[in-house]
Amino acid sequence: AQSVTQLGSHVSVSEGALVLLRCNYSSSVPPYLFWYVQYPNQGLQLLLKYTSAATLVKGINGFEAEFKKSETSFHLTKPSAHMSDAAEYFCAVSDPDGNEKLTFGTGTRLTIIP
Amino acid sequence: GAVVSQHPSWVICKSGTSVKIECRSLDFQATTMFWYRQFPKQSLMLMATSNEGSKATYEQGVEKDKFLINHASLTLSTLTVTSAHPEDSSFYICSARDRGFSLAGYTFGSGTRLTVV
């Protein structure tokens, strides 16, 4: 069974500072990995995805993530936080050889300090 | 890009009544749709997976007779909460996978906030 663990349910950073949201995965096969962002009372928007191509993945809004097999990690980063980045972020994993349903982490709420 | 339209965005209903939530893929054919439930400040929990023209597959612990899912066409899936009770109050989100599965992943609807009073 596959799973993801997001360390830190709440992360606060100052505006302009580095954003680092952690995600570790557990999967018996090389997984597909996703980061989604959710604003209050809205659905999920895809930030970026890893599907066994380049290990450094660039997404929208200046976010990127690096797939590290040795560390089983897929941490999300952004060099400079903006107030509009305040939201809930979910890491998700999909087994490409299975039924392809997504398994989500518990989420990290990002707060930006002015 | 792929768009999934989910309606209604919010609904309030009386205990004991049924509520239908629609999820439509607007510009692609969705062979598979997923229905999630999200409690406040929690993650998304998969309720069921529906494939066009076949019965939905429910996750363990989800009552199939209470949460009726219909996926009659490649662009429409519905979730009906039957005999709703206050504990069914939650945020429900659908997600659709493109028939071509371009690895773009899964497109999510904007969610439905259900409040049962």
Q: Is A84 on the interface with B (CB under 8 A)?
A: no
Q: Do B43 and A106 touch (CB under 8 A)?
A: yes
H or E element that contains A47: strand A44-50
What is the three-class DSSP state of B26? coil
What is the three-class DSSP state of B53? coil
Q: Do B43 and A101 touch (CB under 8 A)?
A: no
User: Chain A partners of B111 at a C-beta cutoff of 8 Å?
Assistant: 41-43
A37 to chain B, closest Cα gap in Å:
11
User: Chain B partners of A100 at a C-beta cutoff of 8 Å?
Assistant: 32, 97
Q: Is A42 on the interface with B (CB under 8 A)?
A: yes
B12-67 per-position pLDDT tens digit? 999 999 999 999 999 888 888 999 999 887 889 999 998 888 889 999 999 999 99
| pLDDT one digit per residue (tens) for chain A, 114 residues | 788 999 999 999 999 999 999 999 987 777 889 999 999 888 899 999 998 778 899 999 999 999 999 999 999 999 999 999 999 999 999 876 656 678 899 999 999 999
CA A31-A88-A47 angle, 5° bins:
50
User: What residue of A is the nearest CA neighbor of B111?
Assistant: A43
Out of A42, A104, A109, closest to residue B110 by CB: A42
Q: What is the DSSP letter of A30?
A: P
Between CA A56 and CA A77 the distance in angstroms is: 11
The residues, any chain, with a CB within 8 Å of residue A2's CB and separated by 6 or more, are A25, A26, A27, A28, A31, A93, A94, A95, A98, A103
